[in-house]
Structure 1
């Protein structure tokens, strides 16, 4: 994949939305989020995916909406030369808002602990505190009820300053019924729409 340069990729007057997907079955909703945002005027979306999240959607469905999916393989190509752009730095420079949807228990723990061992967590560790960042937890109910989860959410909210939304209660993909499902994808889209006062393209 070609180098990504924030200075080339940002467009004046546009809202630049960075969607992060992690290893929860709720990642299946990623194409729907991207497709919905693509229907608004002056919006650009880039997707950064952990490898496990790609078990749940086909990146081709993202590309159909005019966006791209970035993975660890794009960051660590084995061909780096001094002076080349650093992907996780360029992506965080590009973003006006970051959505971690879904945020798995594993990625939540990594964020809270400051771990940065992949493209997603490296980007988040380098992210400016001025960039609005929303976390949408999604996991099994007992994983959500684990005492460490409450501590991780506290750290993410109170120390890092991210906004945590959800999870919600419903029948989960594993068959259990309880709290742990990701916020409805339409509500995630609406957070961006309302924050940036987006208008549908047909309202131009």
Structure 2
């Protein structure tokens, strides 16, 4: 029996749960789906940190061309440039088995009328978008219709006939704040589907609700939703 392949966008934001996204992408890829990961700039920090912690190898760093040093000396201006962009470059090379779409592409891919617009291109490509984790900051942006990065632009321009799933993840006190329930309600009223946060000991050491749903649960929810397409 042939397994149908779908195009899935995985949006990830500035929550430490972003470190689980490579595992989520791996599991969905093994099920035959095509995956593009759309991280916010804050998500890149967690992806890079996790890669270093797990001793992932890195090679062919794509920002090496900025190193205009002579005899090992790197000018201060070049060092600043490297610090600004190497999170994205390193994440791409640490996780070379995955495809990423980043904020940088939103602007560099468009130079003239007729060029593709990255967030529209990705919206058209995808059969489903799952935002995992969805932090408090991006949740608030989406609920208010703001779109100041690639991921929120995709969501703002999303085809409402396609499924969008979201997985809240934040500190317990942020999760139980009245704003959070209001914002989640707005998303659900739009037809977006929540994969609820769970209760556990959080990275910050506190015990309570706010942790992202387990990866296997997210995979199951995504598969079930794709099965209804």
How big is the alpha-carbon RMSD for the aligned residues of Structure 1 and Structure 2?
Answer: 1.4
Equivalences for 1:83-94 in 2 at 5 Å? 83-94=114-125
Which of 139, 142, 145 aligns to 2:173? It is 142
DSSP 3-state at the match of 2:47: coil
CA distance in 2: counterparts of 1:190 and 1:78, whole angstroms: 34
Which of 163, 167, 184 aligns to 1:132? It is 163
Equivalences for 1:184-203 in 2 at 5 Å? 184-197=214-227
Cα contact 2:12–2:131 (8 A) shared by 1: yes
Residue 81 of structure 1: how far off its partner (Å): 1.3
Residue 14 of structure 1: how far off its partner (Å): 2.8
DSSP 3-state at the match of 2:24: helix
Q: Which residue of 2 aligns with 1:63?
A: 96
1:150-178 per-position Cα deviation (integer Å, ceiling 9, x unaligned): 110111111x2101111100000111110
Residue 56 of structure 1: how far off its partner (Å): 1.1
Q: Which residue of 2 aligns with 1:164?
A: 194
CA distance in 1: counterparts of 2:34 and 2:203, whole angstroms: 30
Kindly report structure 1 stretches of 4+ aligned residues shifted beyond 6 Å: none
Which of 183, 197, 203 aligns to 2:213? It is 183
Cα contact 2:18–2:47 (8 A) shared by 1: yes
CA distance in 2: counterparts of 1:44 and 1:31, whole angstroms: 14
- Structure 1: tracts of 5 or more residues without a match: 1-12, 198-204
- Structure 2: tracts of 5 or more residues without a match: 49-90
Residue 190 of structure 1: how far off its partner (Å): 1.5
Q: Which residue of 1 aligns with 2:25?
A: 34
CA distance in 1: counterparts of 2:199 and 2:206, whole angstroms: 10
Query: What TM-score does the superposition give when structure 1 sets the normalisation length?
Result: 0.84
